[in-house]
Chains A and B, each alone.
Chain A
Amino acid sequence: MKAHLTRRYIFSASHRLHCDELSEEQNREVYGKCNNPHGHGHNYALEVTVSGQVDAMTGMVCDLAELDETVRRGVLERFDHVNLNLCPEFAALVPTTEKLIETVFHILKQNFKAAHLEKVRLEETAMNSFEYCGN
């Protein structure tokens, strides 16, 4: 039987949305408050969904501790309590939640092999959330 397992994690980070190729005025127009020069922050909630056959011996899709460890090392240690604009991943990217979720998905895809990575869901605030399935 194939089941989908979802685990939720929280991390906090700051960012400023600003594109060097746009003028100051265009940046303000496109990004609004998110373009304020000193940045701002969010409590991000990350939901990672993996799928696979439920193992007959363990009753599990995968070892949860292994998933937690992969997310801790790959995502939380990298992005929790940092300024996203200063992270190497965003040296040439505007750290919108769209770009952040793509980045998180690819990090997890590369590092977690114990089950199939189905989907990553990222809440920027309680009102905004994004989903990415890798395509």
Chain B
Amino acid sequence: MVYLTRKCEFSASHYYHNPEFTEEENRRVFGKCANLNGHGHNYTLEVTVKGDVDPKTGFVVDLKDLKEILNREVLEALDHRHLNKEVPEFFRQIPTTENLAITIWNRLQSKLKVAKLHRVRVYEMPDLFVDFYGEA
């Protein structure tokens, strides 16, 4: 079993706001992130897949395929977008880094045919990242 990690970047804006909270609760729980005018980040995404090395190709996964899936399923949907307004998963969910990692996992998992998705790591900033392993 070998693990392969592909890294990419995307930039997006968001805000945190739960309509079930009062305005005061939103400000208390989400702080500056509750500003409804939004703000943005340069996100770094690391996708790790695992599998046996194919004896013919020496690959765990064809990187061209992985890149294409990443571009289509994740980057085109998220890069230079407003997460709350343009990404359906966040019409109701708050686009925290936690939910972003889960969303990216869900978008990729069914599309990967050869290797198995092991981990999605999303850096919101160099000093803050979330890992999701598909755990319930």
Contact = CB atoms under 8 A, between A and B. Distances in A.
A2 B136 CA distance: 6
A90 interface: no
A3 interface: yes
B98 interface: yes
Interface in B82-136: 93-99, 101-102, 126-133, 135-136
Contacts of B135: 1-2
Given A2-B135, A3-B102, A5-B98, A63 B29 contact: yes
A63 B95 CA distance: 15
A3 B131 contact: yes
A126 B102 CA distance: 30
A6 B128 contact: yes
Interface stretch (A18-26, A51-59, A78-86, A93-101): A51-59
Interface residues of B, number: 26
B96 A1 contact: no
B131 A4 contact: yes
Contacts of A54: 96, 98-99, 102
Interface string A52-89: 00100111110111000000000000000000000000
Interface stretch (B2-10, B16-24, B40-48, B57-65): B16-24
A116 B85 CA distance: 33
Interface of A: 1-9, 49, 54, 57-61, 63-65
